[in-house]
């Protein structure tokens, strides 16, 4: 089948999509956007978090066809040219990035949190990021990054 | 085509002792860093692996006829298509690339499919017909040696005895215990992946997420029947490792498919396959007897421990040696008897995971120290300090610890940290969290301590070295450097450290890290907390050669200074096979934890409220990265304490998913305050001491000690499950 959708502000089209393919597969393998990661492909790890019409979702749990005529924003769409989004900048500065495989999903989730709650408390940050697994950091520096990004808003 | 990893040139500066940003950080937060599973090539096809559903069976037939007929399938391969040696392994070549006539664990690879879409490959795999004669699996590590032999030499992989002092001593106070450690998974987030690209001349390029390029290459080349120069490996982006990428997974398989089809082949495991596709931490059963005098001074320690290596040896021999040589912990004991056994079973193969044998022993000996404290009426910290090793102490192997061993100091540091406020009234901070299972009723608090010891770098006489090349030339009128190694960056930050070392040694700010590959000599494994030590040492040594040629010049015109050198740490010795005596290790690392927990004793739910750590790192080359390693290692220890276990039944894995194998989320992790000591080791480059593993050892027993303190329960097994707390 053919899927038409808007990704990071651009109209995109994917052809020969098998009905069982996920939005994640289409983004990664058909549209050249591998930033969203494939760590569990069953909605447990959050590494594939993207905005679908401004709501964060696990792209692995969205069938490609469900994205027809909708707007998707991925981690690749957060920076403006060379200028990183403040959340991205804070992740690098705070040491929240080690292997970085969880980072794209966490950056999108943290970005969404700060859009909704500009000055979150620690329990609010923890609750908002609870669907994103990180195996390297123990999360302390991820919390630092979100606090830093919030302080700079 | 996404293939070649980026050269990393960071715009920020900073030599050793500072915390410059990672040179790959911007790429990673933008989603532009190319991990192995992101690789893409025109015309590539997808590989998939058919695996055994049985832990132990004889294969009576394999029929690939129907699978080959599926449209879109390019190749279906079995062991008959392996042109070289169909056996590989890190220490013993005992594991088939593809099974021949027997499978020894659930998930063992039998056949490969190459197809135009991953779904086509999956459908074709279902059409491969394998018939089995199912056999009774060997699953009990304590009786495995006397059970059905699974390999020609029987089921004992290695027995390490240690005999020190007298076995005929008695003590005022004696405590004994039997402890169990469940099978932990590395659960790195980036699944096993790679892309093999055939060249026209019968050679192959493999872009791969691994921990050790050169040992992968030698194993791949042997299986392909090719000389090593015809197999070229380049490190692609690695999504964590923690030991789980030391052994081969899809390396040979992708190359086989690529050479058979003449097409680039991509293989990516999904999470379930990843659980079958790499080795795990050895589960263990450990028996201990500690004897002490009435002042708390240890008189003797006797232990017998079993480590379940599963179906193939992997790194079991070295894991057993670690468990044995570090088996009494960071304590002075004159009379030690250790018997450590690594065995084959039909359980999943086990090998390297962060802490590598020291974790299993650490849980047991620290549990024993708490038991001893209780028997003596001493505090847990006092009994540890009473026996704490210091510089100059003698290990059970007879080796003298010849650099800082601040065991008592680390314990006192965590003891003196402020305790968190009492049990919260915010349900988000109580056991069960927003599940709203308690508002504080039935919740009790406990505090626990532990300290651990880990050997750093490779041991037992292994020739452990790394190779580094540093090239200096003029760029835009300034000196610029490039550093090239084959040492794998897996997330720990070696790329940053190498830049920092070059800046410090040469005074050159602009440092590019070249992609890691096999065009340069061996970098050794990214394991044993060794890369900053050994590859850091090699980069420092290469800089010294460059500095000599620079001779103080800041303008070298068109000249290019290009120096490559090998660097090795001081030699170690094999241990005596009868007595375990010998200078087996290069360096020891120490960390101590204090854990504070709230336990809902009615539901068996645990909330770790604080997990503070003190560790000596010799010298913190990058303080931010050091703290990141300690916090990350502590988190994996928390996972083993209360959540993480690959559960097996009759050799079959019951929970191969992140739905059923739980790793800590941000809600499970408490704040972690970290004290870093910098007591330089005069034998190591810059005085550094390996950082990555020690915190994983003491975290687990500290948390379990805190749960014991809260509940009064014995808790001899990790992970502690709710039913262990409620008795239901």
Q: Are A14 and A2 a contacting pair, CB within 8 Å? A: yes
Per-residue tokens: B371: 């038991």
| Closest to B708 in 3D by CA, of B691, B686, B724 | B724
Chain-centre distance of CA B140, in angstroms? 24
CB A142 within 8 A of CB A134: yes
B426 touches chain A (CB under 8 A): yes
- Decide if A146 contacts A94 (C-beta within 8 A): no
For B649-661, letters b (16+ CB in 10 Å) and e give eebbbeebbbeeb
Question: What is the residue whose two structure tokens read 């915390």?
Answer: B19
CATH number of the structural domain spanning residue B524: 3.30.365.10
Q: What is the pLDDT of residue B683?
A: 97
Contact of B435 with chain A, judged by CB distance below 8 Å, is answered with no
Facing residue for A102 by CB, picked from B38, B189, B429: B189
Label each residue of B470-493 as H, E or C: EEEEEECCEEEEEEEECCCCCCCC
Please check whether residues B381 and B479 belong to one and the same domain.
no
Does residue A136 contact residue B632 with C-beta atoms inside 8 Å? yes
Q: Is the dihedral of CA A8, A11, A15, A20 positive or negative?
A: positive
Structure letter (DSSP) for residue A83: B
Q: Strand B8-9 vs strand B102-103: parallel, antiparallel, or unpaired? A: unpaired
Contact list in B for residue A32 (CB cut-off 8 A) is 40
Q: Is B428 close to A107, i.e. CB distance below 8 A?
A: no
Largest CA distance in chain B: 77
Segment-wise mean pLDDT, segments of 10 residues, chain B, 728 residues: 70 86 97 97 96 98 98 98 98 97 98 97 98 98 98 98 97 98 98 97 98 98 98 98 98 98 98 98 98 98 98 98 98 98 98 98 98 98 98 98 98 98 91 93 97 98 98 97 98 98 96 98 98 98 98 97 98 98 98 98 97 98 98 98 98 98 98 98 98 98 98 98 94
How many angstroms separate the CA atoms of B27 and B31, rounded?
Answer: 6
Coil, helix or strand for A145?
helix
Q: Do B30 and A88 touch (CB under 8 A)?
A: yes
CA distance B322 to B452: 13
Overall domain count for chain B: 3
Do B27 and B50 sit in the same domain of this protein? no
pLDDT at B8: 84
Q: Give the per-residue pLDDT at B722.
A: 97
CA atoms within 13 Å, Cβ hemisphere of A107: 34
Domain containing residue B290? 280-459+577-726
**Chain B residue with minimal CA distance to A97?**
B25
Same domain, B421 and B442: yes
Question: Does a structural domain hold residue B169?
Answer: no
Mutate to test the interface with A, among B29, B120, B496, B607 (most CBs of A within 10 A): B29
Does domain A3-77 bear CATH number 3.40.50.1970? no
Between CA B191 and CA B658 the distance in angstroms is 12
Q: Which residues of chain B make contact with A19, given a CB cutoff of 8 A?
A: none
Count of CB pairs separated by less than 8 Å, A with B: 184
Q: CA nearest A90 in B: which residue?
A: B29
The domain boundary, picked from B544, B568, B592, lies at: B568
Instruction: Find the residue in A nearest to B190 (Cα).
Output: A39
Quick check: A135 and B636 CB within 8 A? yes
Q: Is B28 helix (H, G, I), strand (E, B) or coil?
A: helix
The structure tokens listed for A18 are 């098998």
Give residues 51 to 110 of B whose Cβ lies within 8 Å of A.
none
Per-residue pLDDT at B728: 84
**Alpha-carbon distances, residue B697 vs A134, B380, B413, B592 (angstroms):** 20, 17, 17, 9
Class of domain A86-151: mainly alpha
Contact B632 A130 (CB under 8 A): no
The partner residue sitting opposite A135, judged by closest CB among B188, B429, B634, is: B188
Determine the pLDDT at residue B475: 96
- Which chain A residues contact residue B237 at CB under 8 A? 100
Would you call A136 and B240 a contact, using CB atoms and an 8 Å cutoff? yes
What is the DSSP track for B576-616?
PTTT--S---SEEEEEEEEEEEEEETTTTEEEEEEEEEEEE
3-state secondary structure of B201: coil
SS3 track for B294-345: CCCCEEEEEEEEEEECCCCCCCHHHHHHHHHHCCCCCECCCEEEEEEEEECC
CB pair distance less than 8 Å for A99 and B663: no
Task: State how far the Cα of B477 lies from the Cα of B556, in Å rounded to an integer.
Answer: 10
Q: Where are the alpha helices (DSSP H) in A58-102?
A: 86-94
**Nearest to residue B462, comparing CAs of B570, B611, B557, B567?**
B570
Helix axis angle, B380-387 to B407-415, nearest 10°: 160
B315 and B372 assigned to the same domain = yes
Residue extents of the structural domains in chain A: 3-77, 86-151
Q: Is the pTM here over 0.90, yes or no?
A: yes
Q: How far apart are CA B65 and CA B129, in angstroms?
A: 9
| Ranges of chain A with pLDDT below 70 | none
Note whether residue B661 is domain-resident.
Answer: yes
Contact A95 B625 (CB under 8 A): yes
Write a three-state SS string for B623-668: HHHHHHHHHHHHHHHHHHHHCCCCCEECCEECCCCCCCCCCCCCCC
- Between helix B623-642 and helix B358-376 the angle, nearest 10°, is 70
The H or E element that residue B175 is part of is strand B173-181
Question: In A, residues 128-147, which contact B (CB 8 Å cutoff)?
Answer: 129-143
Co-location of B85 and B197 in the same domain: yes
> How many of the other CB atoms lie within 10 Å of CB of B197?
22
In the sheet that holds B561-568, the strands lie side by side as B8-9, B511-513, B478-485, B465-475, B561-568
Residue B186 counted as domain residue: no
Is the ipTM reported for this complex over the cut 0.95? yes
Query: How confident is the model at residue B6, as a pLDDT?
Result: 78
Q: Which two tokens stand for residue B586?
A: 């290069």
Return the CATH number at B252: 3.90.1170.50
Instruction: Quickly count: other Cβ atoms within 10 Å of residue B333's Cβ.
Output: 24
Q: Name the closest residue on chain B to residue A139, using Cα atoms.
A: B666
Residue B218 lies in a domain: yes
């Amino acid at each position: 089948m053919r899927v038409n959708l808007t990704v990071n502000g651009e109209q995109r089209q994917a052809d020969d999509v098998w009905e069982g393919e996920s939005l994640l597969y289409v983004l990664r393998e058909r549209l050249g956007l591998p930033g969203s990661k494939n760590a569990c492909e069953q909605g447990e790890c959050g590494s594939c978090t993207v905005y679908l019409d401004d709501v964060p979702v696990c792209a692995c749990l969205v069938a490609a066809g469900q994205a027809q005529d909708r707007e998707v924003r991925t981690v690749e769409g957060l920076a403006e040219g060379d200028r990183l989004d403040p959340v991205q900048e804070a992740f690098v500065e705070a040491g929240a990035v080690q292997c970085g495989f969880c980072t794209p999903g966490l950056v999108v989730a943290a970005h969404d949190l700060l859009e909704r709650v500009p000055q979150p408390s620690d329990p609010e940050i923890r609750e908002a990021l609870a669907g994103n697994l990180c195996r390297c950091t123990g999360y302390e520096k991820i919390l630092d990054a979100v606090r830093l990004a919030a302080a700079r808003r | 085509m996404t293939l070649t990893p980026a050269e990393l040139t960071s715009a920020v500066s900073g030599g050793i002792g500072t915390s410059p940003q990672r040179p790959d950080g911007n790429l990673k937060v933008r989603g532009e860093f190319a991990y192995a599973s992101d690789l893409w090539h025109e015309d590539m096809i997808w590989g998939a692996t058919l695996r055994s559903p049985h832990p132990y069976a004889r294969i009576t037939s394999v029929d690939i006829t129907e699978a080959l007929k599926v449209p879109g399938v390019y190749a279906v391969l079995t062991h008959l298509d392996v042109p070289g040696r169909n056996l590989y392994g890190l220490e013993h070549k005992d594991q088939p690339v593809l099974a021949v006539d027997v499978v020894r664990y659930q998930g063992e690879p039998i056949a490969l499919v190459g197809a135009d879409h991953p779904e086509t490959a999956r459908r074709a795999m279902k059409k491969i017909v394998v018939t089995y004669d199912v056999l009774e699996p060997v699953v009990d590590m304590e009786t495995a040696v006397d059970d059905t032999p699974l390999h020609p030499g029987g089921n004992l992989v290695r027995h390490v005895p240690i005999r020190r002092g007298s076995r005929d001593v008695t003590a005022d106070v004696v405590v004994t215990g039997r402890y169990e450690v469940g099978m932990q998974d590395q659960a790195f987030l980036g699944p096993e992946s790679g892309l093999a690209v055939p060249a026209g001349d019968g050679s192959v390029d493999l872009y791969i997420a691994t921990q050790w390029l050169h040992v992968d290459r030698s194993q791949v080349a042997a299986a392909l029947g090719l000389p090593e120069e015809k197999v070229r490996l380049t490190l692609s982006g690695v999504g964590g490792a923690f030991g789980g990428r030391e052994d081969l997974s899809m390396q040979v398989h992708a190359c086989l498919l690529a050479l058979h089809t003449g097409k680039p082949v991509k293989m990516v495991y999904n999470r379930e396959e990843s659980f079958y596709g790499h080795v795990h931490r050895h589960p263990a059963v450990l028996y201990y007897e500690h004897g002490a005098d009435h002042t708390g001074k240890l008189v003797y320690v006797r232990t017998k421990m079993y480590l379940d290596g599963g179906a193939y040896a992997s790194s079991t021999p070295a894991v057993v040696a670690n468990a044995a040589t570090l088996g009494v912990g960071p304590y002075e004991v004159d009379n030690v008897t250790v018997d450590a056994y690594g065995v084959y079973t039909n359980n999943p193969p086990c090998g390297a995971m962060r802490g590598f044998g020291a974790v299993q022993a650490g849980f047991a000996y620290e549990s024993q120290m708490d038991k001893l404290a209780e028997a003596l009426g001493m505090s847990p910290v006092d009994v540890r300090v009473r026996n704490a090793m210091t510089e100059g102490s003698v290990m059970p192997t007879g080796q003298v610890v010849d650099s800082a061993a601040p065991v008592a100091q680390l314990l006192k540091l965590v003891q003196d940290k402020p305790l968190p406020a009492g049990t919260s009234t915010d349900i988000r901070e109580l056991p069960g969290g927003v599940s709203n299972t308690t508002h504080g009723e039935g919740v009790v608090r406990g505090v626990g301590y532990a300290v651990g010891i880990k050997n750093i770098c490779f041991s037992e006489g292994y020739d452990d070295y790394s190779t580094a090349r540093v090239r200096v030339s003029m760029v835009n009128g300034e000196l610029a450097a490039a550093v090239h190694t084959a040492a794998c960056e897996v997330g720990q930050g070696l790329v940053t450290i190498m830049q920092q070392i070059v800046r410090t040694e040469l005074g050159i700010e602009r440092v590019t890290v070249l992609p890691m590959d096999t065009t340069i000599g061996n970098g050794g494994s990214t394991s044993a907390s060794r890369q900053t030590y050994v590859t850091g040492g090699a980069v420092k040594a290469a800089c010294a050669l460059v500095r000599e040629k620079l001779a103080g010049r800041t303008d070298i015109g068109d000249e290019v200074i290009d120096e490559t050198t090998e660097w090795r740490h001081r030699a170690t010795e094999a241990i005596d096979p009868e007595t375990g005596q010998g200078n087996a290790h290069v360096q020891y690392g120490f960390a101590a934890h204090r854990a504070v927990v709230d336990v809902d004793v009615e539901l068996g739910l645990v909330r770790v409220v604080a997990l503070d750590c003190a560790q000596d790192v010799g010298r913190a080359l990058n303080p931010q990265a050091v703290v990141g390693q300690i916090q990350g290692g502590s988190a994996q220890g928390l996972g083993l304490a209360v959540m993480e276990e690959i559960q097996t039944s009759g050799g079959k894995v019951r929970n191969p998913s992140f739905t059923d194998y739980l790793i800590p989320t941000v809600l499970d992790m408490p704040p972690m305050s970290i004290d870093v000591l910098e007591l330089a080791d005069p034998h190591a480059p810059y005085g550094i001491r390996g950082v990555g593993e020690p915190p994983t050892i003491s975290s687990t027993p500290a948390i379990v000690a805190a749960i014991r303190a809260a509940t009064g329960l014995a808790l001899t097994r990790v992970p502690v499950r709710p039913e262990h707390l409620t008795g239901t």
